[in-house]
Amino acid sequence: MKPSTKLAIALGAGAAFALGAVATASAAPKRGGMLNIVVGSKIPSYDGHRETTFGMIHPIRPFYSLLIRVNPDNPQSTSDFTCDLCESFTKSSDGKTYTFKIRENVKFHDGTPLTSQDIKATMHKLIFPPKGIASSRKAFYGMVESVEATGKYEVTFKLKYATGGFIPALATPFNFVYSKKDLDTHGYKWHMKNINGTGAFTFVQHQPGAFVEGKRYANYHLKGEDGKNKPYLDGYKAISAPKMAIRLQAIRGDRAQIEFRAFPPKARDDLKKALGDKITVQESDWNCVMGFSSNQKLKKFQDVRTRQALSMGLDRWGGSKYLSKIAIVKTVGGTVFPNHKLAAKKEELMQLRGYSTDLAASQAEAKKLLAAAGMSGASVELLNRAVDQPYKVVGTWMLGQWKKLGLKTTQIVLPTGPWYAKFRKKKDQETMIDFNCQGVVNPLIDASKWLSNDIASNNYANYQDRQLDKWYDQMNRTGDEAEAYSIMRKYEKRILHEKAHYAVSFWWYKINPYRSYVKGWNIAPSHYLNQSLDQVWLDK
Amino acid sequence: MSAAEVTDGLSLKQAIDTRSPIQKLAGLARRQPLGAVGAVLVLGMIILAVMADVISPFDPTDNNFQDMLIGPSAEYWLGTDQFGRDILTRIIYGARTALFVGLVSAFLGATTGLVLGVSSAYFGGTFDLLFMRFVDVFMAFPVIIMALAIVSIFGNAMHFVILAITLPIIPDCARIVRSNALQIREIPYVDAARALGFSHARIILRHMLPNVMAPYLIIFTSAIGGAILLEASLSYLGMGVQEPTPAWGLMLQGGAEEYVESAFWVAFFPGFAIALAVFGFNMFGDAVRDVLDPRLRQQ
């Protein structure tokens, strides 16, 4: 496969559906300028392998490169991947061996040349971390048997079984490539507090709680449209601003140009109204699913009828229409990212409990189920996160829906730390706003959330369902798309309908209003993706 | 013996007030106009809170998305919020939340402070010394920081919110009550009670407490306004009562950031309600102080 060739994977096309995506290719990129980004979260550490938050990705990703990445010019595609530190790759006929040719003449920011040993050391840290070393997405790589450096500039992955989930997992934006020298010299925790990558920008400074600053890396390995080395920008500053009003005002006052997570619809409208053409908006479905789960450790929620009733009480179609005006949620869907080839079609969804358009019938049935389970007029407590968008908005809507079933509802809202602690350690919540946010759209891997709780650490409903575990394994091992689709339907039906282990409410919806003179950035279906900034330029 | 002698210098008319209760109230209102305004506001708030179920035009927690973010109109006098809920209704029910949290917190805080302050003055010695240093340390913390710390540790269930608001009131009340109780402790009837062998509890509860009721009532009424403001502050910061419970600070928090430009009513009216309530209780508290304090009364 040639360097410029886009890497198509087995999962197939996955229609690009950029909503309002801006065509930027027509104008020739200009060089120079500083990009000011506002970031609504803090940096727990610099180590991408360990962290899971955009608060780290947005300021730190530009310092690093990946082996392969989602095509920055076509990030809406769920199957379009391009080489970053590799030049090309090949797949064996049985789909179990992938060989990557690594770029030569790439140097880390400290001057160390990149070789296949660096890729191998990085992948070993990610896939086979030693005890005590956190690798948050280790579970993505259950199919990998070995990673070997088969030449100075060649790396070979051997898989236990062929699967379409491998390449998307490899393109995860958290997979920063580290120098073997750093890992050997300083240990596996050095990158939590230190930065040395091959990314488009080099680290200048980090003022904790204020900003991170990077400057252009002159020896970056990718070329721009003008034939010179990228990036186009002289540098960037990622400014920490947890309050949304401050982020909005920063863009409005042109003190910052962009925020990469999302703003709610009202903020978009206000910015557009105030600044007109000076603001460009890109929108996209978002690979984050929001719903609720009931804690099956509690007797109250062990009766499947109760869980089914709670799901049937939600007016998903009506809620989508109105909540999309005030919150960053929109699309009604199942367990698979909407529009992906493995996602259920609307008519299939409507066969599931809670997805009928006949709300009155659903609510009547839900009341009957509650009565049969002895839960008529019972109290239900919802655990929620103290984050407005979309958690508290969706939570308030959900409580209103359950009230219509005659339930007495209360809500506990906790800041992020105590919120996680409650359902990860204490595990004493009744129901909770539950989510599954991923980077690269990879349903075969993303669906691992609904495995039994002794397998999936993010199963907060605390159930064990071996049938789901079996289907998940089958789904991942089959190379046949049609079969994967068929198994996914059974898997989804069991989760949402038969056992009601989880209830999807909506998929998130990403809205990015930004200064129109920022060019070259294309919205992706995740706030983790496309943040290398090497293709971004300022039309000033 | 003449009537003038009996009243020790006061005229008979002054000594025997023959005015009706309404005339007395009118007289009080003339002397304390701001206090009267405060009393009217407080009374209005109490009526709203008690009668909320009867006078509210809508259900405070029913979402009605068809009518989201409608401005003040004939149907929705103060408009609707982003969930289509009537803001007037939520303000009326919010008065119940504010008054409940305010009254309970102020009562618990002031009463605990009263008992501790009088006990500290009565026992004196090491207990008094240690207790007052403890109060000094307690008062060194900013009120909002202390309240935030409490709800962060224990959670933001209603009873913890009340606890968070109650605790900062205790040292304030204890210190003021103690200074009054120190004077009372030296009055001979307390010595007489001791000489008669009464228990400490009896002396404190029956002979000292009634004599510090004036400062207690002043602190209590003043603390209600502060407690309402603190509850609203906690709710605004997302650490107080939670949706769907109608609470003024929560309403402000939900609307201030996103809708202040395009739907001012979402944040304006709850904010105005908070301001009115705090103003009302503060003015009422000042008037109570003026009436109960003999020195101020003579002025």
Number of domains chain B is built from: 1
The rounded percent of chain A whose pLDDT value lies above 90 is 83
Instruction: Please state the length of chain A.
Output: 540
- pLDDT value at A521 more than 50: yes
How far, in Å, CA of B32 to CA of A460, rounded?
A: 60
CA–chain centroid gap for A325, Å, is: 23
Indicate if the alpha-carbon torsion angle B231, B234, B239, B241 is positive or negative. positive
Assigned token pair, A53: 């938050």
Q: What share of chain A is helix, strand, coil (3-state, %, to 5)?
A: 30, 25, 45
- Residues A147-153, mean pLDDT to the nearest whole number: 98
A159 strand-pairing partners: A144
Q: What is the DSSP string of A142-166?
A: TTEEEEEEEETTEEEEEESS--TTH
The CA-based angle B104-B107-B108, given to 5 degrees, is: 80
A37 strand-pairing partners: A238, A258
pLDDT in tens, B189-222: 888 998 999 999 999 888 898 888 888 988 898 8
What CATH number is attached to the domain comprising B269? 1.10.3720.10
Burial degree of A152 (CB within 10 A; 0-12, 13-18, 19+): exposed
Contacts of B211 (CB under 8 A, 6+ apart): B180, B181, B184
Assigned token pair, A349: 């969804």
Task: Give the model's confidence band at B3: pLDDT under 50 very low, under 70 low, under 90 confident, else very high.
Answer: very low
Q: Which residue has tokens 């367990």?
A: A335
> How much is the mean pLDDT over chain B?
88
Q: Å from A293 to nearest chain B CA?
A: 19
**Of A533, A76, A490, A450, residue with least CA distance to A287:** A76
Give the pLDDT of residue A22. 43
Indicate if the alpha-carbon torsion angle B1, B5, B11, B15 is positive or negative. negative
Contact B249, B235 (CB under 8 A): yes
Contacts of A338 (CB under 8 A, 6+ apart): A285, A331, A507
The CA-based angle B195-B199-B205, given to 5 degrees, is: 110
HSE on the CB side for A479, CA within 13 Å?
9
How far, in Å, CA of B43 to CA of B281, rounded?
A: 10
- Residues B24-34, mean pLDDT to the nearest whole number: 84
Name the residue of chain B whose CA is nearest to A416's CA: B152
Indicate if the alpha-carbon torsion angle B232, B237, B240, B243 is positive or negative. positive
Q: Note whether B156 contacts A413, CB cutoff 8 Å.
A: yes
How far, in Å, CA of B180 to CA of B170, rounded?
A: 16
Q: Note whether B243 contacts A392, CB cutoff 8 Å.
A: yes
Nearest CB to A386; choose among B68, B238, B244: B238
Assigned token pair, A130: 């030693």
Q: What is the DSSP string of B231-269?
A: HHHHHHTT-SS-TTS--HHHHHHHHHHHHTTT-THHHHH
**Weakest mean pLDDT among A36-50, A106-120, A407-421:** A407-421
Q: Could you list the residue range(s) of the whole structural domain that residue B206 is in? A: 31-51+75-298
Give the pLDDT of residue A7. 43
**Of B277, B287, B283, residue with least CA distance to B38:** B283
Task: Give the model's confidence band at A11: pLDDT under 50 very low, under 70 low, under 90 confident, else very high.
Answer: very low
Chain B residue numbers touching A325 (CB-CB < 8 A) = 68
Q: Which CATH number fits domain A285-509: 3.40.50.300, 3.10.105.10, 3.40.190.10, 3.40.50.800?
A: 3.10.105.10
Nearest CB to B68; choose among A269, A322, A399: A322
Angle between helices B143-154 and B158-185 (to 10 degrees): 130
Contact A469, A452 (CB under 8 A): yes
Any chain B CB within 8 A of the CB of A378? no
Chain B residue numbers touching A412 (CB-CB < 8 A) = 155-157, 242
Burial degree of A267 (CB within 10 A; 0-12, 13-18, 19+): buried
- Residues A401-427, mean pLDDT to the nearest whole number: 90
- pLDDT value at B103 more than 50: yes
Any chain B CB within 8 A of the CB of A266? yes
Q: Containing H/E element for A83? A: strand A81-83
pLDDT in tens, A28-77: 999 999 999 999 988 999 999 999 889 999 999 999 999 999 999 999 99
Q: Containing H/E element for A81? A: strand A81-83
Contact A28, A41 (CB under 8 A): no
CA–chain centroid gap for A322, Å, is: 24
Task: Give the model's confidence band at B9: pLDDT under 50 very low, under 70 low, under 90 confident, else very high.
Answer: low
How far, in Å, CA of A51 to CA of A61, rounded?
A: 12
Contacts of A424 (CB under 8 A, 6+ apart): A460
Q: Å from B256 to nearest chain A CA?
A: 9
Any chain B CB within 8 A of the CB of A244? yes
Assigned token pair, A329: 């949620």
> How much is the mean pLDDT over chain A?
92
Give the pLDDT of residue B259. 84
- Residues A134-159, mean pLDDT to the nearest whole number: 94
How far, in Å, CA of B97 to CA of A396, rounded?
A: 18
Any chain B CB within 8 A of the CB of A318? yes
**B236: in domain:** yes
**B57: in domain:** no
Question: pTM here?
Answer: 0.83
- pLDDT value at A6 more than 60: no
Nearest CB to A264; choose among B238, B243, B258: B258
Burial degree of A315 (CB within 10 A; 0-12, 13-18, 19+): buried
Residue A102 per-residue DSSP state: E
Name the residue of chain B whose CA is nearest to A399's CA: B244
Any chain B CB within 8 A of the CB of A165? no
A34 strand-pairing partners: A235
Contact A278, A536 (CB under 8 A): no
A504 strand-pairing partners: A291
Burial degree of B28 (CB within 10 A; 0-12, 13-18, 19+): middle
Give the pLDDT of residue B294. 61
Contact A105, A99 (CB under 8 A): no
Name the residue of chain B whose CA is nearest to A246's CA: B257
Give the pLDDT of residue B109. 96
- Residues B12-36, mean pLDDT to the nearest whole number: 78
Q: What share of chain B is helix, strand, coil (3-state, %, to 5)?
A: 75, 0, 25
Chain B residue numbers touching A399 (CB-CB < 8 A) = 61, 243-244
Higher confidence at residue B255 or residue A436?
Answer: A436
Helix/strand/coil (H/E/C) assignment for every residue in A474-515: HHHHCCCHHHHHHHHHHHHHHHHHHCCCEEEEEEEEEEEEEE
Task: Give the model's confidence band at A396: pLDDT under 50 very low, under 70 low, under 90 confident, else very high.
Answer: very high
Give the pLDDT of residue A480. 87
Q: Which amino acid is at A374?
A: G
Nearest CB to A267; choose among B63, B244, B258: B258
How far, in Å, CA of B44 to CA of B52, rounded?
A: 12
Main-chain dihedrals φ then ψ at residue A368, nearest 5 degrees: -65, -45
Give the pLDDT of residue B186. 87
The CA-based angle A204-A207-A211, given to 5 degrees, is: 80
Q: Å from A354 to nearest chain B CA?
A: 19
Strand order in the sheet with A211-216: A34-39, A235-240, A211-216, A201-207
Beta strands in A217-354 (DSSP E): 235-240, 279-294, 329-331
Contacts of A299 (CB under 8 A, 6+ apart): none
**B174: in domain:** yes
HSE on the CB side for B19, CA within 13 Å?
12
**Weakest mean pLDDT among A330-339, B162-171, B257-266:** B257-266
Q: What is the DSSP string of B170-235?
A: HHHHHHHHHHHHHHHHTSHHHHHHHHTT--HHHIIIIIIGGGGHHHHHHHHHHHHHHHHHHHHHHH
Any chain B CB within 8 A of the CB of A474? no
Q: Where are the domains of chain A?
A: 34-257+527-538, 285-509
Give the pLDDT of residue B28. 81
Assigned token pair, B20: 């009706």
What architecture is the A34-257+527-538 domain classified under in CATH? Answer: 3-Layer(aba) Sandwich (3.40)
Give the pLDDT of residue B19. 79
Give the pLDDT of residue A308. 98
How far, in Å, CA of B247 to CA of A70, rounded?
A: 46
pLDDT in tens, A167-191: 999 999 999 999 999 999 999 999 9
Nearest CB to A400; choose among B68, B239, B244: B244
Task: Give the model's confidence band at B159: pLDDT under 50 very low, under 70 low, under 90 confident, else very high.
Answer: very high
pLDDT in tens, A333-367: 999 999 899 999 999 999 999 999 999 999 999 99
Q: Å from B107 to nearest chain A CA?
A: 26
**B125: in domain:** yes
**Of A400, A259, A255, A266, residue with least CA distance to B267:** A266
Contact A64, A176 (CB under 8 A): yes
Q: What is the DSSP string of B11-38?
A: -HHHHS----HHHHHHHHHHH-HHHHHH
Among B68, B81, B242, B260, the strongest candidate for a mutation testing the A interface, having the largest count of A CBs within 10 A, is B242
How far, in Å, CA of B38 to CA of B164, rounded?
A: 26
**Of A506, A270, A243, A294, residue with least CA distance to A397:** A506
- pLDDT value at A17 more than 60: no
How far, in Å, CA of A523 to CA of A76, rounded?
A: 7
